[in-house]
A and B are shown apart, each in its own frame.
Chain A
Amino acid sequence: MLHLRSPYKGANNTAPVRAVPPCPGPAATGPPAASGSMFPMVPRAGRPPSHQGEDLDVATISSTGHTRRDFLYIATGAMGAVGAAAALVPLVTQMNPDASTIAAGAPIEVDLTPIQEGQVIKVFWRGKPIFINHRTKKQIEEAQNVNVASLPDPQPDSARVKPKHDEWQVLIAICTHLGCIPIAHQGPYDGYFCPCHGSVYDTSGRIRSGPAPLNLALPPYEFVSDTRIRIG
């Protein structure tokens, strides 16, 4: 190490420039002891490097100086945190539905006249399949004459259709288990049957057996006239 301490001799003597690399890199395995005298004691945050034998202790800084310094550090750190958080906002919200998707999800109107009694049609609203079931007298009766209390998700049929329109059953055709589309007119209740894991729904779209926990959900809709509904 001696040559490192020898005074530098001038411009043309460039040999000392090729000194020992100043530090062992992250992957270098150089033993700390060897370079120890070159780079002792790296100061901790906010603490001056104590070279030349001077020992500037944090404790010697007056308490007022301490507070002011701490405040500056906290303010700077807080500002950085606020900036980082704000930068996250666009990165996160860009994944929400964009303006065109939201606009395309506007309410749709469906004309009910072509739907025969006993027929189920499927329409799409906001990318979701919607069943519109023109129920027969028999189906309506079956749906109404059920001991509601015995159902896994108790709900009377009247709560699942619009008043005076109980022949029209409008459902979001998404199984409440894991999202498959049930098949209409299947299963023991002549309602809906989900082929994925065997959930069975009745003609009111209520869960009767199988792994699904809830009745088929109802979309927001209203009758604009006796033969026309607006979904959404």
Chain B
Amino acid sequence: MSGHPTYQPQNAVMKWMEARLPIAGLIHSSFVAYPTPRNLNYWWTFGGVLAFMLASQIVTGVVLAMHYTPHVDFAFNSVEHIMRDVNYGWLLRYVHSNGASMFFLAAYIHMFRGMYYGSYKDPREVLWILGVILLLLMIITGFMGYVLPWGQMSFWAATVITNLFSAIPIVGEPIVTWLWGGFAVGNPTLNRFYSLHYLLPFVIAGVVVLHIWALHVAGQNNPDGVEPRQDSDTVAFTPYATIKDGFFLVVFLALFAWFVFYMPNYLGHPDNYIPANPSVTPMHIVPEWYYLPFYAILRAVPDKLGGVLLLGAAIVILAFLPWLDRSKVRSARYRPRYRFFFWLFFLTCVALGWLGSKPAEGVYVYAARVATIYYFAHFLVILPLLGRYEKPLPLPSSITASVLKRSGAVAVVAFAVMLTGLIGLSSPSVAAEVETPPKQNWSFAGPFGKFDRGQLQRGFKVYREVCQTCHGLSLLAFRNLAEPGGPGFSSAQAAAIAAEYQVPAEPDDQGEVKDRPARLADRFPPPFQNDNQARARYNAVPPDLSLIVKARGYDRGFPWFVFDLFTQYQEQGADYVHALLTGYADPPKGVEAPSAGTFYNKYYPGHFLAMPPPLSDGRIEYTDGTKPTADQLALDVTAFLAWAAEPHMEARKRLGFQVIIFLLVFAGLLYFTKKKVWKSVEAHG
């Protein structure tokens, strides 16, 4: 019963190694023998989740970097190349982009846990500060990563965020120019962001090592906030904590998989599927959900410099938490007043997040101001006063004593509430008062949705006979028409379709570029050479349709976006395109077209658009007996465009089903293993 558990290598080779580089001993003492308080609840498993997420982001990021091109002319298309052509590219990219959200979700839970149980208090101040540094690094890294796809949101996020520095007096402007490497956000900016986005995760990994080191010096805090003081207060990290962390990690991965495979764009913005355009700002720009509370604080202040300073202060103040909270009692379990204020603070953060997603106008601004003031008051007023006046409950004499008293229930409900609260904030709102597109019954909706081959073929016919004269389909290749999960043309049919198109050939002996018939490998040629030609011809630039269904959408509003999380409704884009195609009407009385050659549409933001009503009953002849009503044509072409926007959707949902089933079974096994491992501990106080 005595003697510290040390690593005793049995094998001669390991002994030899241990005498020279005791790495096995270090791993053993850190992750095997390391004593961990026996009363840790599931909120303590997020450290493991975070370590996994960091590794996952680095691995998928390194892989994506093999296919991505950091150049303003190619970045957007190279991301689409990953989505469409690279083997499992869609999976890797969705894991990476949703992984960022999961990473932040886990980090925020981890931090709130630390706040609730007072994990930042003596002797864990440095541990906590390292955590705040990690958050800051994550924020910077996540922002730079968001810029890389070079969509509209990327570009304008880069512009807005770098412009924060212009608030600094005197040196502000030079700093911004320095950050850009130019006079506006451009290619140099993209290149350096790419470089730094690749570098920073390794810096994060380095700080994580310090974070874990500090943790192992001070030891883990625990839900009771009393230090372990007898043998029965702790259990060995392996197997007890390992199996528990492992079980919860798999549960967390099931949530992650839900997003990756079924709602991969739920947390993103449709606008980021529009290539960056320095001359047009999107109607309503919002950052990713995990920045929304800070964004709300920025906008709450009517002064430019003040807003920037407060935004910075909102993060920096966290580092001072160990000294602002004067109470010597750690856990909120024994601090009834603090417990109340903790939840109030939590709700304030959620409220700030929600306000950050709303337009900065009217009542939202005032609400954001109140919430901002409360955010800072929590740290600067409430915590210091509480430490003075609060009467804590009696602490248990030991962890063991506490465990034997409690049932050990876990607040899973709180987790679910928090999840929906934090995640649900992402939907952007559209400012214009337009009608909500009616929901259609798409065959490709839901977890088992598949495209209807006949419908895709009909829709392709509509595209070719109607849309094609003005709208390109530049990301789609003719070979895609014959690929599984698509309209189901044979290779020969697709080649015959390709041959009807002309694309520029290689320069001949004389250096002349002539046209040749397209082949399977070619992509659909554009209907016009450049935007100016399009403007001269059509009085507008008709958007490319390759991604139109993913690049459009509408705000679902509360509470629908919460339900969507469970029903997997994500066909806003398809509903919108169909509604637009069929939504032409005479303008209401008194509403005048702003310019000649524009047409009134119920669903178009701003109502007047340059596209004349494209579809009418019988405009196309169908050979499969389907009645070619205008509505049917719109449905068919929308389904075709939905496929064109996401050609691997069927493969994604199929794999998703397998992955989720696997994770559930695995979680079940881990749960029983965990129960078995912990049985003896729980039985014997």
Q: By the criterion CB–CB under 8 Å, are B232 and A51 in contact?
A: yes
The A interface is mostly helix, strand or loop, or mixed, namely loop
Known: A11-B334, A51-B231, A100-B521. A43 touches B236 (CB 8 A): yes
B18-30: CB near A (< 8 Å → 1, else 0) gives: 0000000010011
B66-107: CB near A (< 8 Å → 1, else 0) gives: 110000000000000100111111011000000000000000
In residues 77-107 of chain A, which contact B (Cβ within 8 Å)? 79-80, 82-83, 86, 89-91, 93-96, 98-101, 103-104, 106
Which chain B residues lie closer than 8 Å to A115 at the CB level?
none
B635 within 8 A of A: no
Within the complex, what minimum Cβ distance (angstroms) separates B90 from chain A? 10
Which chain B residues lie closer than 8 Å to A72 at the CB level?
669, 672-673, 676
Chain A residue at minimal CB-CB distance from B28: A26
Q: Which listed residue (B217, B395, B669) contacts A25, Cβ 8 A?
A: B217
Q: By the criterion CB–CB under 8 Å, are A98 and B670 in contact?
A: no
Which chain A residues lie closer than 8 Å to B666 at the CB level?
76, 79-80, 83
Q: By the criterion CB–CB under 8 Å, are B66 and A8 in contact?
A: no
Bound-state CA distance A54–B683 (Å) is 12
Which chain B residues lie closer than 8 Å to A80 at the CB level?
246, 666
Bound-state CA distance A196–B394 (Å) is 83
In residues 2-58 of chain A, which contact B (Cβ within 8 Å)? 4-5, 7-8, 10-12, 14, 16-28, 32-33, 35-43, 45-54, 56
B33 within 8 A of A: yes
Which chain A residues lie closer than 8 Å to B520 at the CB level?
103, 106
Q: By the criterion CB–CB under 8 Å, are A19 and B26 in contact?
A: no
Chain B residue at minimal CB-CB distance from A15: B328
Which chain B residues lie closer than 8 Å to A146 at the CB level?
none
In residues 173-230 of chain B, which contact A (Cβ within 8 Å)? 213, 215-220, 225-230
Which chain A residues lie closer than 8 Å to B89 at the CB level?
94, 98
Q: By the criterion CB–CB under 8 Å, are B479 and A99 in contact?
A: yes
Which chain A residues lie closer than 8 Å to B217 at the CB level?
21, 24-25, 27-28
Bound-state CA distance A226–B253 (Å) is 61
Which chain B residues lie closer than 8 Å to A18 at the CB level?
122-123, 227
Chain A residue at minimal CB-CB distance from B84: A99
Chain B residue at minimal CB-CB distance from A97: B87
B654-684: CB near A (< 8 Å → 1, else 0) gives: 0000000011011001101100110111001
Bound-state CA distance A76–B228 (Å) is 31
Which chain B residues lie closer than 8 Å to A69 at the CB level?
676
Chain B contact residue count (CB 8 A cutoff): 85
Within the complex, what minimum Cβ distance (angstroms) separates B665 from chain A? 7
Known: A23-B35, A72-B669, A80-B666. A98 touches B26 (CB 8 A): no
A149-169: CB near B (< 8 Å → 1, else 0) gives: 000000000000000000000
Which chain B residues lie closer than 8 Å to A93 at the CB level?
87-88
Within the complex, what minimum Cβ distance (angstroms) separates A52 from chain B? 6
Q: By the criterion CB–CB under 8 Å, are B1 and A40 in contact?
A: yes
Q: By the criterion CB–CB under 8 Å, are A94 and B86 in contact?
A: yes
Bound-state CA distance A114–B393 (Å) is 97
Q: Would you mind naming 11 contact pairs between A and B with Cβ atoms under 8 Å apart?
A: A8-B397, A21-B218, A26-B216, A37-B231, A39-B234, A40-B3, A45-B238, A49-B684, A76-B669, A90-B92, A114-B509
The chain B residues found within 8 Å of chain A, CB to CB, are: 1-6, 26, 29-30, 32-35, 37, 59, 63, 66-67, 81, 84-89, 91-92, 122-123, 213, 215-220, 225-236, 238-239, 246, 328-330, 334, 391-398, 477, 479, 483, 509, 519-521, 662-663, 665-666, 669-670, 672-673, 676-677, 679-681, 684-685
